[in-house]
Amino acid sequence: MRALFALGVLVLVSAPAVAAPPPNIVYIVADDLGFADVGFRGSEIWTPTLDQLAQTGATLEQFYVQPMCTPTRAALMTGRYPLRYGLQSFVILPDQTYGLPTDERLLPQVLKDAGYETAIVGKWHLGHADRKYWPRARGFDYQYGPLIGEIDYFDHKVHGIVDWYRNGKLLKEPGYVTDLIGADAVRLIRAHDTSRPLFLYLAFTAPHTPFQAPKAYLDRYKDIADPNRRAYAAMVTAMDDQIGAVLKALADKGMRDNTLVVFHSDNGGVRTATFAGQIDTKGDLPARNTPFRDGKGSLYEGGTRAVALANWPGHVPPGKVAGMMHVVDMLPTLAGLAGAPLAGTKPLDGMDVWPAISTGAASPRTEVVYNVELFRGAVREGDLKLVWNAPLPSRVELYDLGADPGETRDLAAERPAEAEAMRKRINGLAKDMARSQFFEATMKSIIGHHGAPVFPTDPGYYQQQD
């Protein structure tokens, strides 16, 4: 009997460990969401789903993105700063024909080669005028939503042209954009073959302008007098409801316990009329980035430090993750979790930050490059941040973010040696940066005379799928 027991123990000890399956990944990006405009940051805006994810997961306290939409999405897809490939400035406008260079190997391609089903539901904004830039040519098995963004939430048009597609086929369907994006993600999850891991890039257009929401959501905020703030709040709550529906679909499918959910905004909320689109800006703009300075389009913290969280039951402990992270870190981090090799990618700026998220280890990141472009640049090293506005009269500003996160006290005159060293770092990056595709395209089309969206016009385009 004792011998049989010993044999059983030996068998148990000798049995090979069963490798844990790679996680499903639901990567959610909001559009122009203010850092302080969620409940778990103290907002009056109702976001119970995001609050629950934050309470049971990790809030990423120093998560950095680019100051505008296209550059952030490019950084996520490539794991590389957009200055490397010419997407560092502004966004791709509707009449512009460039896109994310096709020699960049993207996150969905990396995950697809590791066995993932890959899908984008929502906004793309990395190239629309040539189908070589479209999502299904860049590693996504499935695509639904707008190729540009900034569309009307009810008729799905930009500059009078419908920008709404499924797998390359133009769609004309009714519905509020945020509801349609959420509902399509739910359908995708319900139909998913769970023998394969899922990578779902869920990219909402909310709460980007125009500020529009269904009456039922607007009615929840009757106590907000300003119409822009009321509509903005309604849009955020509508998005939160759809995220809740997606989480429920994951649970119903039995996928939630093995799904990593990441959420963040693509940049700070809009605080300058220049980036507010065609809306009434007589009053205060609605987004709040408290306690940070400025907002979208700016290199100050309000434009680049995004509200962010990560949640995976049993794998991400609740709490705050204090270390610096940048959206470029997501490609190597997610590839590591997926067991996906990085062969074929260009030299990455991103680092694997999973130990910091999952165990509270120190972040490997000690520097953040906010951006480097023709007319400005900013870099952070430790707690010191340098902002260099190059156009004459040029201005160099130095801040200690540890003591002054609101960037209210310029230390450049007090600490000239450190300011000069960081200015040289920016200049060194500038010497190697790629030419800005935005400025080249804008000069060709003559500034200020942009036209309607440019989409492929090959025969049968509107009738066939990719």
| Residues annotated as part of the active site | 69, 125
Tell me how crowded residue 6 is: count the other CB atoms within 10 A of its CB: 10
In angstroms, what CA-CA distances link 189 with 38, 165, 196, 396, 445? 26, 19, 12, 49, 42
127 backbone φψ class: left, alpha, beta (φ>0; ψ -120 to 50): left
φ, ψ dihedrals at 55, nearest 5°: -65, -35
* CB within 8 Å of 8: residues ≥ 6 apart: none
Rounded CA-CA distance 98/87 in Å is 10
Give 69's Cβ-side CA count (13 Å radius). 27
Nearest to 237 by CA among 418, 395, 406, 44: 44
Query: 25: which 2 tokens?
Result: 């990944």
Which letter does DSSP use for residue 275 in this model? G
* CB within 8 Å of 57: residues ≥ 6 apart: 261, 309, 310, 311, 312, 316, 318
Helices 177-191 and 227-252 meet at what angle, rounded to 10?
Answer: 10
